[in-house]
A = this chain, B = another copy of it.
Amino acid sequence: PRTGQSEVVFGQGKSPEQLVLAVGGLLEAGQPALVTRLDSARGEYLAKHVPEGVYWPTAGLFTVGRPVDLSEPWPSAGQAMVIAAGASDLPVALEVLGCAMFFGLDCGLASDVGVAGLHRLLQRGESLAKARLHIVVAGMEGALPSVVAGLYGKPVIGVPTSVGYGTGLGGIAALLSMLNACAPGIAVVNIDNGYGAAAMAAKLLG
């Protein structure tokens, strides 16, 4: 399509049969396929019926026709750097990484480097300073994008996650925090929308 990115299937709320059909259609048209937001039942069903593809359970992604690899160790540097606050944010961070790989973006990942332990963030300083764009994934109070933008001055795409409880409001607290950041150069995508951040980054750097 016009945007230079292959069409992506929104997996949530579709039946297993609908998904196999949609992926099959793309493959027949000679296109690669990416399906997002897949629970394990439907992900494994897809992987069984489209054996040339792979289901990545933590990321909830199914990919076929493009070189995607989400097994550890994850790339530690790249033009775009994904920065994830806590271990509980990993599913969303891996959705960013997997989609970025699918879109052919050179992308690294620094995980478990949240605000409460800034020294861990600073240890990753070299690869962070080299990147052209930071994709910051954080739940709870969502303060990490402000801090990263303040420290490195790169453009930041904030991805609020639904990690948290009570007044976290399923990610709304983190989202509001990112939207109201004083540090300049932050724009935000939907809660848990790793795919959207990767698509934006790929268009910006592509």
Contacts and interface: CB of A to CB of B under 8 A. Distances in A.
A184 B3 contact: yes
Interface stretch (A9-17, A46-54, A70-78): A9-17
Interface of A: 1-5, 8, 10, 12-14, 18, 22, 37, 85-88, 114-118, 133, 140-143, 146-147, 149-155, 157, 160, 162-193, 195-197, 199-200, 203-204
A185 B168 contact: no
B163 A13 contact: yes
8 contacts: A12-B163, A116-B146, A162-B166, A165-B191, A166-B180, A185-B203, A187-B200, A204-B204
A5 B116 CA distance: 13
A22 to B, nearest CB: 7
Contacts of A169: 176
A196 to B, nearest CB: 7
Given A87-B18, A184-B3, A190-B166, A176 B179 contact: no
A177 B179 contact: no
Contacts of A196: 184, 186-187
Of A164, A175, A182, most buried by chain B (CB within 10 Å of CB) is: A182
Contacts of A8: 184
Contact of A143 (B4, B12, B147, B167): B147
A203 B151 CA distance: 14
Contact of A37 (B165, B174, B200): B165
Nearest to A164: B180
Contacts of A5: 153, 184-185
A174 B179 CA distance: 11
A206 to B, nearest CB: 9
Contacts of A13: 88, 163
Given A12-B88, A187-B197, A204-B204, 14 more contacts: A5-B185, A115-B150, A117-B150, A140-B182, A141-B177, A141-B180, A165-B191, A166-B192, A172-B176, A175-B179, A186-B189, A186-B200, A187-B189, A187-B196
